[in-house]
């Protein structure tokens, strides 16, 4: 369509007609979606009309082409990161958010040690889920604000770099998400998928591995819903020429033993030294292996997995972590001496009230308890206590006796009864020894 006809088409458009069309379950054109998204972002379409549109999408859904067009419209609303100056296939990962999720801290140096460029843009935590940037900033001197030149140079030279997300990436998504939050339209798979994928596309990666969390500590509560979201995002990636794989991982229980910031850094170090918990090591190696295949280092997942295990055993992975911390301005000595990380003043044990086995740990409650201790933010304006957090002394399947510590709270607050109560309520003890399935599915 030439520019004259295009302008005429747009001129004739009315938001009320687009709402009506979607209300009737009809597919919208790319032009109609862009009209709605860009118009709302510029303030030309009022909240009440966008709210009606979002609710129509919530109930009537969108087909793959519509979701792809919505994603592109979000991408085109703001800045896009140009990584063309970086050699090789740029691989990124994204987690839909969980409790104790320190996987990025592990996979960045692990994948970079294979010579695959990992150019990571990451966010801060809010509510019961933590943010990778907050965790890394618990290391003295670690910089997450780099110039474009520093970022690209680090990736070219060392194959890894991380920065906080730019303020003008996908502003349309940011504005629409705020409206979704107050109109009960957050849990719409087309809207979730386009929101996540727009940020990844705008961040400039060639290939994307998605860690889709499922369970009570995640946004997706059932495996079927997680699978639908994963399939939708993988399809968007393919339609927009990005190699994409989604891994559905369990978040019915917190990942690993540590929840917080500095204490999660300690645990990530242990994983890269080969001493990590089974759940965390399995999830990290699975994600890193798929990144390695997409990055062209290996043809098969199994081959990548074995090689990455070998890299951990050889000590190469932990050396790469030291390098990562150093090039970002941090004190790399923390890798060998974790006592240099912030430590809390108070350590309070939460004890079991009955004998049995830990059958379940509510991840969301552990995340909330950690936030109450100072490890997270209730609002974006809140500051974080890097030393605060929770250690899970017992995991699902562990035997426990009355009076034995099931978790330990770390805080600088003198009074933390609310956090203690929430953490205590998170643990379920029964006479049955349960096991957890760490990886539920792979969607390609």
pLDDT digits (tens, 9 = 90+) for 135-160: 999 999 999 988 889 999 999 999 99
The rounded distance, in Å, linking the Cα atoms of 397 and 385 is 31
pTM of the model: 0.92
Give yes or no: 195 in active site: yes
Q: What is the pLDDT of residue 1?
A: 54
Q: What is the pLDDT of residue 5?
A: 54
Q: What is the pLDDT of residue 67?
A: 98
Can you tell me the mean pLDDT for 330-340?
96
Q: How far is CA 3 from the centre of its chain?
A: 40
The pLDDT of residue 303 is above 60: yes
Under the banding of pLDDT at 50, 70 and 90, the label for residue 358 is very high
Q: Which residues pair with 347 in a beta bridge?
A: 410
- Catalytic entry in 22, 90, 93, 94: 94
- The CA-CA-CA angle for residues 262, 266, 267, to 5°, reads 120
Q: What is the pLDDT of residue 11?
A: 59
Give yes or no: 306 in active site: no
Q: Which residues contact 262 (CB under 8 A, 6 or more apart)?
A: 135, 138, 341, 342, 343, 386, 387, 389
- Catalytic entry in 68, 95, 113, 195: 195
- Catalytic entry in 34, 101, 134, 173: 173
CATH homologous superfamily of 3-61 equals Transferase, Pyrimidine Nucleoside Phosphorylase; Chain C (1.20.970.10)
Domain ranges for the chain, please list them.
Answer: 3-61, 91-335, 343-430
By CB neighbour count within 10 A (0-12 exposed, 13-18 middle, 19+ buried), where does 197 fall? Answer: buried
Can you tell me the mean pLDDT for 260-275?
96
Hey, which CATH number is domain 343-430, 3.40.309.10, 3.20.10.10, 3.90.1170.30, 3.40.50.300?
Answer: 3.90.1170.30
Poorest-confidence range of 18-32, 152-166, 233-247, 405-419? 152-166
What's the CATH fold of domain 91-335?
Pyrimidine Nucleoside Phosphorylase; Chain A, domain 2 (3.40.1030)
Can you tell me the mean pLDDT for 187-215?
95
Give yes or no: 199 in active site: yes
Q: Which residues pair with 214 in a beta bridge?
A: 220, 250
Can you tell me the mean pLDDT for 340-359?
96
Q: What angle do helix axes 301-314 and 103-112 make, rounded to 10 degrees?
A: 90
Can you tell me the mean pLDDT for 402-406?
97
- Catalytic entry in 22, 93, 102, 180: 180
Fold match flag (91-335 vs 343-430):
no
CB 166 within 8 A of CB 82: no
What is the bridge-based pairing of β-strands 346-351 and 243-250? unpaired
- Catalytic entry in 159, 199, 200, 213: 199
Poorest-confidence range of 70-74, 205-209, 314-318, 433-437? 433-437
Can you tell me the mean pLDDT for 23-44?
97
pLDDT digits (tens, 9 = 90+) for 222-259: 999 999 999 999 999 999 999 999 999 999 889 999 99
Q: What angle do helix axes 47-60 and 171-181 make, rounded to 10 degrees?
A: 80
């Amino acid at each position: 369509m030439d520019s004259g006809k295009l302008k005429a088409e747009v001129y004739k458009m009315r938001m009320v007609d687009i709402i009506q069309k979607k209300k009737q379950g009809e597919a919208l054109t790319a032009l109609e979606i862009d009209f709605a998204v860009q118009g709302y972002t510029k303030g030309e379409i009022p909240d009440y009309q966008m709210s009606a549109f979002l609710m129509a999408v919530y109930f009537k859904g969108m087909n793959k082409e519509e979701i792809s067009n919505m994603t592109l419209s979000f991408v085109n609303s703001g800045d896009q990161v140009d990584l063309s100056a970086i050699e090789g296939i740029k691989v990124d990962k994204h987690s839909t958010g969980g409790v104790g999720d320190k996987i990025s801290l592990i996979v960045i140096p692990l994948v970079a040690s294979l010579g695959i460029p990992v150019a990571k843009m990451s966010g801060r935590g809010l509510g019961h889920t933590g943010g990778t940037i907050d965790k890394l900033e618990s290391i003295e001197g670690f910089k997450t604000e780099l110039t474009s030149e520093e970022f690209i140079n680090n990736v070219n030279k060392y194959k890894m770099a991380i920065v906080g997300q730019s303020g003008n990436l996908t502003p349309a998504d940011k504005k629409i998400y705020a409206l979704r939050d107050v109109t009960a339209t957050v849990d719409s798979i087309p809207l979730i998928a386009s929101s996540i994928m727009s940020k990844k596309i705008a961040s400039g990666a060639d290939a994307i591995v998605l860690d889709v969390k499922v369970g009570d500590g995640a946004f997706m509560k059932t495996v079927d819903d997680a699978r639908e979201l994963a399939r939708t995002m993988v399809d968007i990636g393919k339609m927009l020429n990005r190699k994409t794989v989604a891994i559905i991982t369990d978040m019915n229980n917190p990942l690993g033993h540590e929840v917080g910031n500095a204490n999660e850094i300690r645990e990530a170090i242990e994983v890269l030294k080969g001493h990590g918990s089974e759940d965390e090591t399995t999830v990290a190696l699975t994600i890193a292996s798929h990144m390695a295949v997409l990055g062209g280092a290996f043809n098969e997942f199994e081959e990548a997995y074995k090689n990455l295990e070998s890299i951990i055993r050889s000590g190469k992975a932990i050396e790469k972590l030291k390098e990562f911390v150093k090039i970002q301005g941090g004190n790399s000595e923390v890798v060998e001496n974790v006592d240099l990380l912030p430590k809390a003043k108070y350590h309070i044990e939460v004890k079991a009230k009955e004998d049995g086995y830990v059958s379940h740990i509510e991840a969301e409650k552990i995340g909330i308890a950690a936030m109450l201790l100072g490890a997270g933010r209730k609002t974006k304006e809140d500051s974080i206590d890097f030393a605060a957090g929770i250690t899970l002394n017992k995991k699902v399947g562990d035997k426990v006796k009355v009076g034995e510590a099931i978790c330990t709270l770390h805080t600088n607050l003198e009074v933390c009864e609310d956090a203690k109560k929430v953490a205590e309520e998170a643990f379920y003890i029964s006479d049955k020894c349960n096991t957890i399935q760490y990886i539920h599915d792979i969607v390609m």
